Amino acid sequence: MSVEMELRAAACRLLEEGTVDLFIGWERGSLPASAVPVFITDPADADRLVFDITCGTNPAVYFTKDHRQFDGKRVGLALKGCDSRAMVQNIMEKQVEREKVVMIGVPCRGVLDRRRVALAADGREVLELSDLGDAVRLSGRGFDVEAPREAILADSCLACAHPDASVADLFLGAPGGMEDAGERRLRRVREYEALSPAERWERTVLEYGKCIRCYACRNVCPSCYCEVCFVDQNDPRWIGGTCEITDTLIFHLIRNLHVAGRCVECGACARACPAGVDLLLLNRKVAIEVLERFGEEAGMEIGAKPIMADFREDEKQEFIMG
Amino acid sequence: MLDRTALGRFISVLAGSYDVHAPVTACDGSFEYAPVRTAEGLDGTRTVTGLSPKGIFFPKDEVLFQYDGDGIRSGEASCRPIAVWGMRGCDARSLALLDRVFGSAVQKPGEERFQDPYWKARYDGAVIFGAVCVKPLSTCFCNWFGGSPSSTEGMDVQVTDLGDAFLLAPVTPEGEELLGRMDMLTQAADTDLDASREVAHRAGAMMSPPFSLEGLDRRLPELFHDPAWAGIAAPCVNCGACTFACPTCHCFDVQDEGRNGRGRRLRVWDSCMFSSFTLEASGHNPRARSLERVRQRVMHKFSYFPANYGERLCTGCGRCVAVCPVGFDIRKVLRGLGAPRDLKKD
Amino acid sequence: MSRVVAEDPGRFLRTFDLVFEDPADRAGFTYLPGQFCEISILGKGESPFGIASSPTEDGHLRFTVNRTGSVTEEIHALREGDIVGMRGPMGNWYPVDLFRGGGVVIIGGGFAFTTLRSLLVYLLAHRSEYRDITVIYGARSPELLLYRDELAAWAARDDLALHLTIDRPVDGWDGLTGFVPSVTKSLAPSPADTHAVVCGPPVMIKFTLPVLTELGFPDERIFTSLERRMKCGIGKCGRCNIGPKYVCIDGPVFSMSELRENPEPV
């Protein structure tokens, strides 16, 4: 049985038995090669669930926005590796009650990035996409091409260190992931670190200069749930609202620090960005720094303390001690 | 007619008197409006840019005024006139809609309204070279609003790409006058006109049939409390990407910055999708719930704006559908709300 | 800033009188009760405030400001002689022409009495054009009633029925005790040829409107002044709408019949 069929069966059973009141998964979207979150209450609707390369949205975000929508309900959900880590992180931070969720892990081999799909099709609109395993087939009006799978995967997936759920009530199928992803993750950060300060500034400004301060990145992030975000405060006003590079960089640097040790590098921010900023450039750097400094990563173990809220005597403190 | 090989010269001559903007494909594959002085990177094969050209006339951030010890100085742009090459019909029409809000176009007949000098300084003297769409995308639905791949509303000149040459058809007297000053143009032949009609016709045939929104603006208020909104709004995370990519969305924030006697007042893009949009100083928020904000967006575009301006605040460019991280599709929503009640089927 | 008066011992409410720097500005500024202005503190921001003075009072514009955020905090720190920026008058006004020849009942709560003061002073300046005038004004406690020196003078008039009420009994208070909706129920005038204007916190309005309806006031003769977060104040920024109506240009004054037609709840 394919993972997709196992998922439908699991969701149907959970709803029929009344173990959950609601199941969140993905269903076919109205756009070609897309999937969208679906909220199922009727076991008969479990057949709408899909799981494939198009299932990019991180459903953990629904638990930290508009909180009241799940109050009291038991929710089942399908989770890729990054999604489950985001859920675990939110459970650690007491935003979600563990007993109120049933987490079904699904094996992930990466999700597509629509900009990279367009690039692989030379800017032409892809109307059909087939996952052939190591390659994908892209076709549209007047063209039909094959591209390596990696050419259309989101960068977050190409450098994903945790493709499978860190914590799950039930794990379907065989583990996912891809070779070299962990190395790629490190390599990206080392490449950035190897730049001279002037080069690094240029690289950062080039990337973040595209930002239009729409805050889609913040709003799709499961870890960004402050009732009043620092950018919206005006007493004191911490940050200007323009797209001048100083204002923009301050926003991203502070947001990165706010999600330090909490960001699971799911890439939802980068995929949501309407201006195509590679937001993981800095997020990933911070995540690796947290890993090196504290030996831990976000969302791995429910019982663990949130990394930045914990202190151990043997932590590196060279910046104090000199 | 403009020979393809002469496009570069056309742009650079234009750039002599205008700040020229055009859709450009960058090396990272992105397709966005950028200032240009040559034809390099100009891409007529891709239909819709990621972000709309509204930012050229209604910047995402602008200084309304500055102040210091010497007084207050307006930030009103006295800029060079703007020319845009390659604007699609949906975008050109969007600017015409924004002109109803900010500019000289009459809003409610018989009523005086405030006109925005910052907008007018940019839009009034602008020249828009529109482009006939050769390949509509599956996300295009301009024909729901009376548009088509060959719409001319909002354009001064309509341009059809015929392969080795462009056909430039004047739409306004300003467009006609400007074409008269460009010496690299030649008269179009009847065969050229036929070819351009063929391009427009072929593109039109690629569009899916429109869904009629007739009467929807009056029916929507009756559906304000309909239980369907819960399902419609469920996947939305209020990220706001739709409003920023949209060519007709124009909600803005006004922010003051200042210290030690000098500072400025800014206007920046804002979004009804944000929870802080209607948050009052007392802490009360009339649209605290996501559902209320999603409903507001749909109602504003398809009921309130029509009630005040007689037009829907949408031109079917499809960017909101393409950019939404959760796949919210306004077409699906409108079909569901517009049809006799059978939403579950969608 | 020509005059600054603290209204409450808690120092959250201050009344400011402003005069124009340039007499030409003063000459060109005409307004009616119910309108508002946007007051700017450069570098901090701008906020809308209902005009509390009446156009019949020459020489100054009066505003009462509740200290609740960064701009109002700055305004509260101002002294006589300080300069502020102002845009206005904005919005629509209480339809004093419609009221003419009939009775008017003004119902206010807390510090929402600002534009009601403007209306009352205006009506009194044109007293013969209106039949009976009734005012019902309540606050949580006596020191939260605005314009207390004027309230005493108005109470003494025999061409005006003024009823003041506070929420709970307090030593030294010899006025009424009770919430505005219940005081309205017992003391409102007959609805015949009478218009009602209601301004106050949302909860007060919510419970007062049904009382007026019960007493026989039709929707088209009940008016209220609404608030929403505002920025441009001229119907462009898209923020202050209630349904298709912008509070800044179609309001802030609305009749109940207009509000019932509006799909969006107030």
- Whether residues C234 and B265 touch (CB distance < 8 A) is answered with no
Average pLDDT of chain A is: 93
The count of other CB atoms within 10 Å of the CB of residue A236 is 7
Q: In terms of domains, do C35 and C100 share one?
A: no
Residues C141 and C102 in one domain: yes
Q: Note whether B135 contacts A: Cβ–Cβ < 8 A.
A: yes
Eight-class DSSP state of B25: E
Q: Are C224 and C129 in contact (CB under 8 A)?
A: no
Predicted pLDDT of residue B343: 44
The reply to whether B143 touches chain A by the CB within 8 Å rule is: no
Last residue within a domain, chosen from C90, C114, C139: C90
Please say whether the dihedral angle defined by the alpha carbons of residues A140, A144, A145 and A146, taken in this order, is positive or negative: positive
Q: How much is the pLDDT for A120? A: 94
Contact C236 B257 (CB under 8 A): no
C9's torsion region: left (phi>0), alpha (psi -120 to 50) or beta?
A: alpha
Interchain proximity C241–B252, CB inside 8 Å: no
Q: pLDDT confidence of B344, banded at 50, 70, 90?
A: very low
Q: How many domains does chain A have?
A: 1
Per-chain mean pLDDT for chain C: 93
- List chain B domain ranges: 2-54+73-205, 216-345
**Contact criterion met (CB < 8 Å) for B281 and C227:** no
Q: What chain A residue is nearest to B274 in terms of C-alpha separation?
A: A219
pLDDT at B113: 67
Label residue B337 exposed, middle or buried (CB < 10 Å: 0-12, 13-18, 19+): buried
pLDDT tier for residue B108 given thresholds of 50, 70 and 90: low
Average pLDDT, chain B: 91
Are C101 and C221 part of one and the same domain? Answer: yes
Contacts of residue B55, Cβ cutoff 8 Å, sequence gap at least 6: A212, B33
DSSP state of A290: H
- Residues with pLDDT less than 70, chain A: 67-69, 322
Verify that C194 and C112 share a domain, yes or no. yes
* pLDDT score, position A311: 87
A–C CB contacts, 8 A cutoff, strictly below:
8
**Which of A:25-64 have CB within 8 Å of B?**
29-32, 34-39, 56-57, 61-62
CB contact under 8 A, C73 and A235: yes
What average pLDDT does this structure show over B86-109? 86
Residue of C nearest to B279 (CA): C229
Mean pLDDT of B43-67: 93
Q: Which helix (H) or strand (E) holds A107?
A: none
Side chain identity, residue A149:
R
pTM of the model as a whole: 0.93
Task: Tell me, yes or no, whether C183 and C200 share the same domain.
Answer: yes
Predicted-complex ipTM score: 0.92
pLDDT band for position B293 (cuts 50, 70, 90)? very high
Taking 60 as the threshold, does the pLDDT of residue B111 lie above it?
no
Assigned domain for C134 exists = yes
Q: Is residue C184 within 8 Å of residue C212, measured between CB atoms?
A: yes
| Pair C82, C125 in one domain | no
The last residue of one of the domains, among C73, C90, C107, is: C90
Residues of B in contact with C12 (CB under 8 A): none
Binding partners of C (≥3 Cβ pairs within 8 A): A, B
Question: What are B208-232's pLDDT values in tens digits?
Answer: 999 999 989 989 999 999 999 999 9
**CATH, residue C52:** 2.40.30.10
Decide if pLDDT at B110 tops 60: no
Residue C170 lies in a domain: yes
Residue B292 backbone zone (phi > 0: left; psi -120 to 50: alpha; other: beta): alpha
Separation in Å, CA of A313 to nearest CA in chain B = 40
A228 touches chain C (CB under 8 A): no
Tell me whether residues C69 and A237 touch, CB distance under 8 A. Answer: no
Per-residue CA distances from B84 to B12, B56, B97 (Å): 13, 9, 17
Q: Please judge whether C69 and A234 are an interchain contact, meaning their C-beta atoms are less than 8 angstroms apart.
A: yes
Domain co-membership, C220 together with C122? yes
Q: Distance between CA C199 and CA C218 in Å, rounded?
A: 17
What's at A65, amino acid-wise?
K
- How distant, in Å, are the alpha carbons of A22, A103, A222 from that of A167? 20, 8, 17
User: What's the pLDDT score for residue B26?
Assistant: 85
Nearest to C42 among B256, B304, B308 (CB): B256
Is C137 found in the same domain as C86? no
Domain shared by C81 and C112, yes or no: no
Distance between first and last Cα of chain B: 47
In chain A, which residues have their Cβ closer than 8 Å to the Cβ of C45?
Answer: 234
Final residue belonging to a domain, choices C32, C62, C90? C90
B61-68 and B71-74 as β-strands: parallel, antiparallel, unpaired? antiparallel
Residues in chain C with CB shorter than 8 Å from the CB of A233 are none
Does the distance separating the beta carbons of B300 and C238 come in below 8 Å?
Answer: yes
B23 DSSP β-pair partners: B33
Structural domain boundaries, residue C195: 96-225
Domain of A173 in residue numbering reads as 3-113+153-309
Nearest CA in chain B to C265: B286
Which B residues in the span 17-36 are in contact with A, Cβ-Cβ below 8 Å?
25, 28-31
Cβ neighbours of A244 in B, within 8 Å: 61
- From residue B197, alpha-carbon distances to B147, B167, B201, C75 in Å are 16, 11, 6, 64
Q: How far is C70 from chain B (nearest CA, A)?
A: 10
Tell me the Cα Rg of chain A.
20
Q: Is the pLDDT of residue C72 over 60?
A: yes
Q: Which positions ≥6 away from C222 have C-beta within 8 Å?
A: C195, C196, C198, C209, C212, C213, C255, C256
More confident residue, B338 or B316: B316
pLDDT of C266 above 90: no
User: What distance in Å separates the CA atoms of residue A141 and residue A66, rounded to the nearest whole number?
Assistant: 41
Q: Does residue C260 sit within a domain?
A: no
Same domain, C86 and C101: no
Q: Quick check: A39 and A15 in contact, CB under 8 A?
A: no
Residues of C whose CB is below 8 A from B102: 236
The pLDDT value given to residue C10: 76
The reply to whether A63 falls in a domain is yes
CA nearest A235 in C: which residue? C70
Q: Do C216 and C135 belong together in one domain? A: yes
Query: What amino acid occupies position B339?
Result: A
> Minimal Cα distance from A269: which residue of B?
B325
3-state secondary structure chain C: CCEEEECCCCCCEEEEEECCCCHHHHHHCCCCCCCEEEEEECCCEEEEEECCCCCCCCCCEEEEEECCCHHHHHHHCCCCCCCCEEEEEECCCCCHHHHCCCEEEEEEEHHHHHHHHHHHHHHHHCHHHCCCEEEEEEECCHHHCCCHHHHHHHHHCCCCEEEEEECCCCCCCCCEECCHHHHHHHHCCCCCCEEEEEECCHHHHHHHHHHHHHHCCCHHHEEEECCCCCCCCCCCCCCCEECCEECCCCCCEEEHHHHHHCCCCC
Q: Is residue A148 part of a domain?
A: no
Write out pLDDT tens, residues A13-37: 999 999 999 999 999 999 999 999 9
Is C239 in contact with B308 (Cβ distance < 8 A)?
no
Which tokens belong to B283?
């802490």
Greater pLDDT, C266 or B1: B1
Q: Which two tokens stand for residue A289?
A: 């720094």
Name the residue among B252, B257, B286 with its Cβ closest to that of C43. Answer: B257
Do C219 and C187 fall into the same domain? yes
DSSP string, B139-183: T--GGGGT--TT--TT-SEEEEE-SSEEEEEE-SHHHHHHHHT-T
**B342 pLDDT more than 60:** no
Q: Do B256 and C239 touch (CB under 8 A)?
A: no
pLDDT, position B340: 62
**Residue C113 belongs to domain with CATH number:** 3.40.50.80
Q: Which residues lie below 8 Å from residue A44, measured CB to CB, with a gap of 6+?
A: A12
- In a 10 Å sphere around its CB, with 0-12 CB exposed, 13-18 middle and 19+ buried, how is residue A22 labelled? middle
Contact call for A234 and C73, based on CB within 8 A: no
